Chain A
Amino acid sequence: MLNDAALRWMNDLSAQGIFLTDAGLTIQGWNHWLESRSGRAAAEMIGRNLLDEYPDLIERGLDKYYKDALEGQIRLLSQRLHHYLLPIAPQGDETSFTMMQQSARIAPLVEDDRVIGTITVIDDVTERISREDQLMRLLSREQAARREAEMANRAKDEFLATVSHELRTPLNAISGWVQILLKQGVANEFLAHGLAVVERNVKMQTKIIEDILDVSRIITGKLSLSVTQVNLAPVVEAALDAVRLAADAKEIRLEWALDADAGPVSGDPGRLQQVVWNLVSNAIKFTPGGGVVNVRLARVGSQAEITVSDTGKGISSEFLPYVFERFRQADSTSTRQQSGLGLGLAIVRHLVEMHGGTVSAFSEGDGRGATFILRLPLLAVRSTGDLLLQSRDKLKGDGTEPVFSSGGRPGDDNLKLRGLRVLIVDDDADARELLEVILLQFGAEIKLATSARQALAVLEDWKPDALVSDVGMPNEDGYSLIQKIRALAPERGGLTPAIALTGYGRPEDRLQLLAAGYQVHLSKPVELMQLVDSISNLTSRDEKKLYTPVE
Chain B
Amino acid sequence: MQLSERQNDALAELINIAFSRTAASLSELTGHRVVLDVPKVAMYPISELTTRLAQFLPAELASVHQVFTGPLTGDALLLLNYDGAVMLTELLTDEAIHSHRLNESAREVLTEVGNILLNACLGMFGNLLQVRISFSVPRLHLETLGEMVKSLVIDKEELRYALVVYTAFRVRDSAIRGFLVIALSVVSLDRLIQEVEKWEDNQGN
**A and B bound?**
yes
Nearest CB of chain B from residue A460's CB, rounded to whole Å: 73
Shortest CB distance B103–A (Å):
5
Whether A81 and B109, one on each chain, are in contact in the complex, defined by CB atoms closer than 8 angstroms, is: yes
Interface residues of A in 50-83 (CB under 8 A from B): 61, 68, 71-82
Residues of A126-177 whose CB lies within 8 A of B: 128-129, 132, 135-136, 139-140, 143
Judged by a CB distance under 8 angstroms, whether B115 is at the interface is yes
B105 in complex: contacting residue of A73, A76, A78, A113, CB < 8 Å: A78
In the assembled complex, the CB of B102 is this many whole angstroms from the nearest CB of chain A, namely 11
Contact of B97 among A76, A125, A140 (CB under 8 A): A140
A463 on the B face (CB < 8 A): no
A103 within 8 A of B: yes
Q: Nearest CB to that of A77 among chain B residues? A: B112
> Is B106 an interface position by the 8 A CB rule?
yes
A80 contacts B111, C-beta separation under 8 Å: no
A105 part of interface (Cβ distance < 8 Å): yes
A103 to B108, CA, bound (A): 8
Interface residues as binary, A244-264 with B (CB distance below 8 Å gives 1, 0 otherwise): 000000000000000000000
B16-46 CB mask vs A (1 if < 8 Å, else 0) is 0000000000001110000000000000000
Per-residue CB proximity of B91-104 to A under 8 Å, as 1/0? 01101111100011
Q: Is B137 in the interface zone, CB < 8 Å from A?
A: yes
Task: Report which of A80, A113, A128 forms a contact with B109, defined as CB distance below 8 A.
Answer: A80
Identify which of residues 68-115 in chain A touch chain B, using a CB-to-CB cut-off of 8 Å. 68, 71-82, 103, 105, 107, 110, 113
Q: Given A72-B135, A73-B119, A74-B138 in contact, is the A81-B112 Cβ separation under 8 Å?
A: yes
> In the bound complex, how far is the Cα of B30 from the Cα of A78, in angstroms?
12
Taken together as a complex, chains A and B put the C-alpha atoms of A143 and B96 apart, in Å, by 12
Task: Give chain A residues whose Cβ lies under 8 Å from the Cβ of B138.
Answer: 74, 76
Q: Which residues of A contact B103 (CB under 8 A)?
A: 132, 135
**B134 at interface (Cβ–Cβ under 8 A)?**
yes
Contact present for A81 and B132 (CB under 8 Å): no
B interface residues, Cβ below 8 angstroms from A? 28-30, 66, 89, 92-93, 95-99, 103-106, 108-109, 111-112, 115, 119, 123, 126, 132-138
Extra A-B contacts (7), CB below 8 Å, given A74-B136, A135-B103 = A61-B28, A76-B111, A80-B89, A80-B105, A80-B109, A113-B132, A140-B97
List residues of A whose CB falls within 8 A of some B CB: 61, 68, 71-82, 103, 105, 107, 110, 113, 125, 128-129, 132, 135-136, 139-140, 143
3 closest A-B pairs (Cβ-Cβ)? A78-B108, A78-B112, A76-B112
